[in-house]
């Protein structure tokens, strides 16, 4: 339906979970929330087609979406949880070590403003073990930025999320999961999907440091996030409270069975056979 | 003929009757001389006549003639003409007091009718009386108004403007003031003329509210199957009984009262009676759990499965609806899978859930087909909010529910059977939903058209580029020249004209 469904290989993971070909995910009859956000689950500026479901992570997001006029929000849980169901952690996994840090990234059309050096200093001061920096693809490709981080630790990138169904790195989340499972802690200067995914993958979360500003960013939203999720902000958090809060945001407990998910996404035989859909 | 008879009139609304009213009337003291006051169902009159010496009081002459022809003693005329000379051991007025006076003579109000019946009782005699609740379930869901005169018998349709007591307490108080002792009082559900569930105030207050509410809802479902109503009587009945309004919203109140001095023993009536043919009683066991016992069987209905302990819990359908409304998917899925594994053949409105126990409420109900689809139909038809708002058609929602219940995909061929009450409010909700879907579809169509225009433009451009860059150099130059020449010619033509 919308190219955002293929971001981070979400559609591919859901197809694999449903027992379909992950290389060729069928068209999703709606929109999959492509990242954690504090609005209606859709990315800003997504042209919403009325009457089609938005598949959101959590009940909280669904309630918010409803209050914003989105009547078809349906909770399925984060695609990352489906990935976790597909890739259970090996019993003899090597011991976790250090921290993976996600410096808050901009995207193609919004660059991050802030003091990067001070941020790195604070990270190295806080983290006991080795630090891996995970950069967004546009920063990673920028030799200057990448080499700047490489002085302080390993630098990785999970890939390109994709755009208009092209160049999607469908193993983005797989790569992220593998990296997360190598680390004890996951940290960032902003509460974001990466932190939630980290918690789900068994890391201790931390959110600290200069939150930085996006070019033309809505500052009150960032402040609201700090107010609403205090248990996820700080250098050393109450692990149980943080975990419970983060998993709730991903929609733990709401993961659908493959059969139910197929029916929700419009991946059943009924849809492929139907010529016209007559409402009940 | 006692005077006031109506020679060319027959009652045009259903007479009081049914298994439960019959059962109650038969509990009158043995050998009692009985006056059946007002129109009652033939079966009820026959059952009473088989046990007691019976006299019928009716205002319609044709009906009196018919009763007389069946060998019954009949008084034909208006209650106002009844003198206190002829007294009875029992008066049965299960049709209420609204159809005792004819068009002739004084029009007695409720209290005056009661007094007249009181005077027809021997001292110590028993009165079996029904009082319709003008704010009862049957009124609340009725499409018509009780105060609109529609049929021949509505010469003064009072409805809620009448003078009869408006609740059970006031009814009991009135009877006491009148000099009658109330021995027993029950709430009759779901319709006054032929109730299929009768429960005492104590049972409604202290009994198993979940199961009683489920049984009341089933009784309402059966009484209103396929009928046009304002709102779904099942939900109203269930909510009333569950939330402690079972007595207040009952269709009618039934009382057994005695003229002073009262008999030594009041009739032994169970706290709850159920039945639309067979008669079943519910009683609280000595050590807590309630039991169910079949008191009367009818041929062709196997109700033997009903004997034994009453299952506990709440109706699955209501639990599912509540979980859907709360968007509590984990609970919805747990209920669906529990249902599918424990009672896959029973409909959601015939299963009660207590913790993880799924029991069939009424084992005598034949199992319907495709129970999940029926529940999907309930969700959509009732306009209930649920966790899959984009699934607006029955096959899609059924497929999702099957998935959530861990069942294989549904068979597409099964046609949906509609035996639910047809509620106006739900129809209104469906129209709203359809309007919304239509508006959504409209705006989707517009969006696709815009996309199409955009894609067409891109396609034209791409074709032009392909044409420009394909072929030999000479051919391309010639083609370009032709294009320029054509444009120049067109321009010239425009300029000339």
CA neighbor of B215 nearest in space, from B402, B78, B349, B415: B349
Q: Which of B335, B378, B386, B389 would best serve as a mutation to test chain A binding (most A beta carbons within 10 A)? A: B389
User: Which H or E run includes B170?
Assistant: helix B168-177
Give residue A241's pLDDT band: very low, low, confident or very high (50, 70, 90). Answer: very high
Of B380, B404, B444, the CB nearest to A49: B444
B394 touches chain A (CB under 8 A): yes
User: What percentage of residues in chain B have a pLDDT greater than 70?
Assistant: 96
Least confident of A175-179, A215-219, B64-68: A215-219
Q: Which of residues 299-358 of B touch A (CB under 8 A)?
A: 327-330, 333
- A73 vs B437: CB contact, 8 Å cut-off? no
Q: Which of residues 402-431 of B touch A (CB under 8 A)?
A: 402-404, 406, 408-409, 412
Q: Which of A61, A62, A260 would best serve as a mutation to test chain B binding (most B beta carbons within 10 A)? A: A260
Least confident of B138-142, B329-333, B412-416: B412-416
**Chain B CB contacts of A63 below 8 Å:** 327
Greatest Cα pair distance, chain B, in angstroms, is 127
**Gap between the Cα atoms of A54 and A264, Å rounded:** 11
Statement: residue A84 has pLDDT above 70:
yes
- B402 vs A257: CB contact, 8 Å cut-off? no
Residue A22: what are its φ and ψ, rounded to 5°? -70, -20
**Chain A CB contacts of B400 below 8 Å:** 260, 263-264
* Shortest alpha-carbon distance between residue A240 and chain B (Å): 21
DSSP B208: -
Give residue B98's pLDDT band: very low, low, confident or very high (50, 70, 90). Answer: very high
Q: What is the pLDDT of residues B421-443, one digit of tens each?
A: 788 888 888 899 899 989 989 98
- A53 vs B440: CB contact, 8 Å cut-off? no
**Gap between the Cα atoms of A214 and A103, Å rounded:** 12
CA neighbor of A107 nearest in space, from A147, A145, A137: A137
Statement: residue A30 has pLDDT above 90:
no
Residues of A with CB under 8 A from a CB of B: 29-30, 47, 49-53, 59, 62-63, 71-75, 253-254, 256-264, 268-270, 274, 277-280
Give residue B265's pLDDT band: very low, low, confident or very high (50, 70, 90). Answer: low
Statement: residue B123 has pLDDT above 80:
yes
**Cβ-proximal residues to A119 (8 Å cutoff; 6+ apart), any chain:** A103, A189, A209, A210, A212
- A280 vs B440: CB contact, 8 Å cut-off? no
User: Which single residue is written with the structure tokens 């009949």?
Assistant: B74
- B327 vs A278: CB contact, 8 Å cut-off? no
pLDDT for the residue numbered B478: 82
- Is the link from the previous residue into B261 a cis peptide, with omega within 30 of 0? yes
Q: What is the ipTM of this complex?
A: 0.85
Statement: residue A158 has pLDDT above 60:
yes
Least confident of A23-32, B224-233, B380-389: A23-32
B392 touches chain A (CB under 8 A): yes
User: What percentage of residues in chain A have a pLDDT greater than 90?
Assistant: 48
More confidently predicted of A53 and B288: A53
Average pLDDT over residues B323-333: 96
- A279 vs B436: CB contact, 8 Å cut-off? no
DSSP B190: S
- B387 vs A74: CB contact, 8 Å cut-off? yes
Statement: residue B338 has pLDDT above 70:
yes
pLDDT for the residue numbered B221: 92
Please give the residue of chain B at the shortest CA–CA distance from A47: B447
Mean pLDDT of chain B: 90
Q: Are B95 and B18 in contact (CB under 8 A)?
A: no
Q: How buried is residue B437: exposed, middle or buried, by Cβ count under 10 Å (0-12/13-18/19+)? A: middle
- B387 vs A263: CB contact, 8 Å cut-off? no
Say whether domain A99-239 belongs to CATH 3.40.50.
yes
Statement: residue A273 has pLDDT above 70:
no
Helix, strand, coil fractions of chain A, as percent rounded to 5: 40, 15, 45
User: Which single residue is written with the structure tokens 């999702």?
Assistant: B400
Average pLDDT over residues A228-242: 95
Average pLDDT over residues B166-173: 95
**Cβ-proximal residues to B41 (8 Å cutoff; 6+ apart), any chain:** B15, B16, B17, B18, B21, B22, B194
Angle between the N-to-C axes of helices A10-17 and A79-86, in degrees from 0 to 180, rounded to the nearest 10: 50
Establish, for the pair of chains A and B, how many residue pairs have beta carbons separated by less than 8 Å.
Answer: 97
Give residue A276's pLDDT band: very low, low, confident or very high (50, 70, 90). Answer: very low
Of A260, A264, A280, the CB nearest to B393: A280
Statement: residue B414 has pLDDT above 70:
no
**Chain B CB contacts of A49 below 8 Å:** 443-444, 447
* Shortest alpha-carbon distance between residue B494 and chain A (Å): 42
Mean pLDDT of chain A: 85
* Shortest alpha-carbon distance between residue B18 and chain A (Å): 37
Give residue A166's pLDDT band: very low, low, confident or very high (50, 70, 90). Answer: low
User: Which H or E run includes A74?
Assistant: strand A73-75
- A268 vs B434: CB contact, 8 Å cut-off? no
B87 touches chain A (CB under 8 A): no
pLDDT for the residue numbered A275: 43
Statement: residue A280 has pLDDT above 50:
no
pLDDT for the residue numbered B418: 57
Statement: residue B53 has pLDDT above 50:
yes
CB contact burial B105-137 (16+ within 10 A = b; e otherwise): eeebebebbbebbbebbeeebbbbbbbbbbebb
Average pLDDT over residues B456-471: 86
- A279 vs B393: CB contact, 8 Å cut-off? yes
pLDDT for the residue numbered A111: 54
* Shortest alpha-carbon distance between residue A14 and chain B (Å): 15
Average pLDDT over residues B467-483: 78
More confidently predicted of B370 and A98: A98
Of B390, B400, B447, the CB nearest to A260: B400
Statement: residue B149 has pLDDT above 60:
yes
Ordered structural domains, chain B, with CATH: 19-309 (3.40.50.150), 314-420 (no CATH), 438-496 (no CATH)
- A268 vs B409: CB contact, 8 Å cut-off? yes
Of B377, B400, B437, the CB nearest to A263: B400
Least confident of A169-173, B115-119, B210-214, B270-274: A169-173
Q: Are B15 and B40 in contact (CB under 8 A)?
A: yes
> Cα B356 to chain center, whole Å?
28
**Gap between the Cα atoms of A150 and A132, Å rounded:** 9
Give residue A181's pLDDT band: very low, low, confident or very high (50, 70, 90). Answer: very high
Domain ranges of chain A: 3-78+251-273, 99-239
B230 touches chain A (CB under 8 A): no
B436 touches chain A (CB under 8 A): yes
- B403 vs A270: CB contact, 8 Å cut-off? no
Give the E-state strand segments of B103-251 in sequence order.
121-132, 180-189, 197-200, 228-229
């Amino acid at each position: 339906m919308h190219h955002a469904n293929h971001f981070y290989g979400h559609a591919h993971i859901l197809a694999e979970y449903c027992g379909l070909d992950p290389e060729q995910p069928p068209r999703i009859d709606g929109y999959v929330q492509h990242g954690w956000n504090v609005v209606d689950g859709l990315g800003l500026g997504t042209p919403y087609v009325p009457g089609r479901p938005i598949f959101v992570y959590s009940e909280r997001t669904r309630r918010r979406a409803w209050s914003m006029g989105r009547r078809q929000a349906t909770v399925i849980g984060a695609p990352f949880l489906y990935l976790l169901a597909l890739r259970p952690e090996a019993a003899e996994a090597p011991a976790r070590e250090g921290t993976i840090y996600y410096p808050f990234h901009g995207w193609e059309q919004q660059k991050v403003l802030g003091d990067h050096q001070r941020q790195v200093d604070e990270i190295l001061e806080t983290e006991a073990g080795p630090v891996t920096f995970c950069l967004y693809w546009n920063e990673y490709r920028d030799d200057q930025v990448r080499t700047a981080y490489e002085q302080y630790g390993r630098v990785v990138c999970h890939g390109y999320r994709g755009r208009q169904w092209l160049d999607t790195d469908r193993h983005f989340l797989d790569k992220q999961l593998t990296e997360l499972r190598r680390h004890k802690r996951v940290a960032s200067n902003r509460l974001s999907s990466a932190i939630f995914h980290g918690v789900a993958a068994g890391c201790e979360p931390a959110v600290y440091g200069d939150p930085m500003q996006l070019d033309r960013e809505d500052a009150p939203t960032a402040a609201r996030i700090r107010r609403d999720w205090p248990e996820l902000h700080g250098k050393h958090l109450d692990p149980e409270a943080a975990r419970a809060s983060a998993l709730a945001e991903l929609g733990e407990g709401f993961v659908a069975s493959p059969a139910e998910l197929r029916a929700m996404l419009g991946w059943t035989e009924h849809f492929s056979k139907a010529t016209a859909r007559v409402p009940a | 003929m006692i005077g006031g008879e109506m020679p060319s009139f027959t009652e045009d609304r259903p007479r009081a009757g049914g298994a439960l009213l019959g059962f109650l009337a038969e509990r009158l003291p043995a050998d009692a001389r009985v006056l059946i006051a007002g129109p009652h169902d033939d079966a009820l009159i026959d059952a009473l006549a088989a046990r007691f010496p019976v006299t019928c009081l009716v205002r319609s002459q044709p009906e009196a003639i018919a009763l007389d022809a069946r060998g019954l003693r009949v008084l034909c005329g208006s209650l106002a003409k009844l003198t206190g000379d002829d007294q009875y051991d029992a008066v049965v007025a299960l049709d209420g007091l609204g159809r005792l006076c004819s068009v002739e003579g004084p029009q007695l109000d409720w209290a005056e009718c009661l007094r007249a019946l009181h005077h027809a009782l021997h001292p110590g005699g028993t009165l079996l009386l029904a009082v319709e609740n003008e704010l009862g379930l049957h009124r609340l869901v009725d499409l018509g108004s009780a105060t609109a005169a529609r049929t021949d018998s509505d010469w003064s349709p009072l409805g809620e403007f009448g003078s009869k007591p408006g609740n059970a307490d006031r009814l009991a108080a009135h009877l006491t003031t009148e000099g009658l002792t109330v021995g027993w009082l029950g709430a009759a559900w779901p319709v006054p003329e032929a109730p299929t569930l009768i429960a005492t105030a104590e049972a409604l207050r202290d009994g198993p509210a979940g199961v009683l509410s489920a049984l009341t809802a089933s009784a309402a479902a059966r009484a209103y199957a396929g009928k046009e109503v304002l709102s779904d009587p099942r939900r109203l009945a269930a909510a009333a009984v569950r939330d402690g309004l079972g007595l207040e919203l009952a269709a009618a109140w039934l009382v057994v009262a005695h003229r002073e001095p009262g008999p030594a023993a009041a009739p032994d009536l169970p706290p709850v009676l159920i039945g639309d043919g067979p008669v079943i009683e519910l009683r609280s066991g000595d050590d807590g759990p309630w039991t169910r016992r079949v008191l009367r069987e009818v041929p062709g209905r196997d109700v033997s499965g009903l004997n034994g302990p009453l299952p506990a819990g709440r109706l699955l359908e209501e639990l599912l609806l509540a979980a859907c409304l709360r968007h509590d998917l984990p609970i919805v899925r747990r209920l669906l899978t529990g249902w599918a594994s424990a009672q896959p053949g029973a409909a959601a409105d015939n299963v009660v859930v207590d913790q993880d126990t799924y029991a069939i409420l009424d084992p005598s109900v034949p199992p319907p087909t495709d129970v999940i689809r029926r529940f999907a139909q309930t969700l959509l038809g009732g306009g209930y909010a649920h966790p899959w708002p984009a699934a607006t058609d029955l096959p899609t929602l059924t497929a999702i529910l099957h998935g959530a219940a861990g069942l294989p995909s549904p068979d597409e061929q099964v046609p949906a059977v509609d035996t639910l009450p047809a509620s106006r409010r739900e129809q209104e909700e469906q129209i709203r939903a359809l309007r919304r879907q239509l508006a959504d579809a409209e705006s989707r169509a517009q969006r696709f058209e815009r996309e199409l225009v955009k894609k067409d433009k891109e396609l034209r451009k791409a074709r032009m580029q392909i044409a420009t860059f394909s072929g030999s150099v000479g051919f391309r130059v010639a083609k370009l020249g032709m294009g320029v020449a054509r444009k120049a010619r067109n321009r010239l033509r425009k300029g000339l004209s």
